[in-house]
């Protein structure tokens, strides 16, 4: 469905966005900045993937959106995590842990 256009593993984008929104409601641009900043410029979210992903998450009911003003008095669409989204986040975090653990075990296997 969503073709990966960046270095992120498919599916990870949603996890990162959900996690970011778990802190506070945020607009699309803010999300890219936050992920870039926290990952110390290692992860860069492509706009071309972000908006389709946000839109899809909104349709799924994981996030809700509303128009608000930024600190600089600019109108922007803010996304907020819903309770379904929170559950989804928990699940994706768990999946991620399982995956990394499994990968780690494979790597440690001598």
Partner 1 sequence: MSLIARLRGMLRRERLDQELDEELRSHVEMRTVDNLAAGMSPEDAYFDAQKRFGNTTLLKEDTRAVDIIDWLDECARDFRYALRMLQRSPGFTAVAVLTLALGIGANTAIFSVVDAILLRPLPYPEPERLVRIWESSRKHDSPRNVVNPLNFLDWRDHSQSFESMAAISGSMTNLSSHGQPHAVQGMQVSPDFFSILRVPPLLGRTFTAEDGIAGHDQVVILSYELWQRQYGADPKIIGAKIDVDAVPYTVIGIMPRGFSFPKIKSEVWTPLPLARTEDWKHGRYLTVVARLKPGVSLGQAQQDMLRVANFTAQARPSYNKNWSANVFPMLEDATRGVRRPLWVLLASVGFLLLIACANVANLLLMRGTGRLRELAVRSALGAARSRIVRQLFVESLLLSLAGMAAGLLFAHLGLRSLLALIPQNAPLPRSESIAIDARVLLFTFLASLFTAVVFGLVPALRLSRVDLQNALKQGSLRGGVGGHQSLRRCFVVAEVALALLLSVGAGLMLRSFSRLISVDPGFSPAHLLTMHIWTSPARYHDDLKRSQYVEHILGEIRNTPGIQAAGSTHFLPLTEKISGSCFSPADQPAPSPAESPSAQFLIISSGYFQAMGTSIRIGRDFDDRDSFSSQPVAIVNHAFVQRFYSGQNVLAKQLRVCWTIEKPVEIVGVVADARQAQLQDAPEPTIFLSNSQAPMYFATLVVRATGDPRQIARSAEAAVHRVDPDQAVSDIQAMETVFSDSVSSPRFQAVLLLVFAGLAVALAMIGVYGIVSYSISQRTNEIGIRVALGARSADVLRLVLREALTLAAIALLLGLAGSLALSRVLQSLLFEVTPTDPITLASVCFVVLAVSAFAAVLPARRAMRIDPMAALRYE
Residues forming contacts to partner 1 in the complex (CB under 8 A) are: 1, 27-29, 46-48, 51-52, 55-56, 59-60, 70, 72, 74-77
Rg (CA), the chain: 15
- Decide whether 71 or 110 has the Cβ nearer to partner 1: 71
- Decide whether 1 or 110 has the Cβ nearer to partner 1: 1
Alpha carbons 45 and 16: distance in angstroms, whole number: 10
Q: How far is the CB of 28 from partner 1 (least distance, A)?
A: 5
Alpha carbons 8 and 46: distance in angstroms, whole number: 10
Q: How far is the CB of 107 from partner 1 (least distance, A)?
A: 26
Q: What is the bridge-based pairing of β-strands 26-27 and 75-81? A: antiparallel
Q: How far is the CB of 47 from partner 1 (least distance, A)?
A: 5
Alpha carbons 33 and 41: distance in angstroms, whole number: 9
- Decide whether 58 or 93 has the Cβ nearer to partner 1: 58
Q: How far is the CB of 55 from partner 1 (least distance, A)?
A: 5
Write out the H or E segment, with its range, that includes residue 67. Answer: strand 63-69
Alpha carbons 96 and 87: distance in angstroms, whole number: 14
- Decide whether 72 or 105 has the Cβ nearer to partner 1: 72
């Amino acid at each position: 469905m969503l073709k990966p256009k960046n270095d992120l593993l498919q599916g990870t984008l949603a996890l990162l966005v959900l996690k970011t929104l778990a802190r506070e409601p945020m607009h699309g641009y803010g999300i890219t900045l936050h992920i870039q900043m926290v990952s110390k410029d290692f992860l860069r979210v492509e706009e071309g993937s972000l908006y389709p992903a946000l839109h899809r998450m909104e349709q799924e009911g994981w996030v809700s959106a509303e128009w608000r003003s930024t600190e600089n008095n600019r109108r922007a669409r803010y996304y907020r995590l819903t309770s379904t989204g929170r559950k989804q986040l928990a699940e994706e975090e768990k999946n991620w842990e399982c995956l990394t653990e499994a990968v780690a075990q494979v790597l440690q296997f001598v």
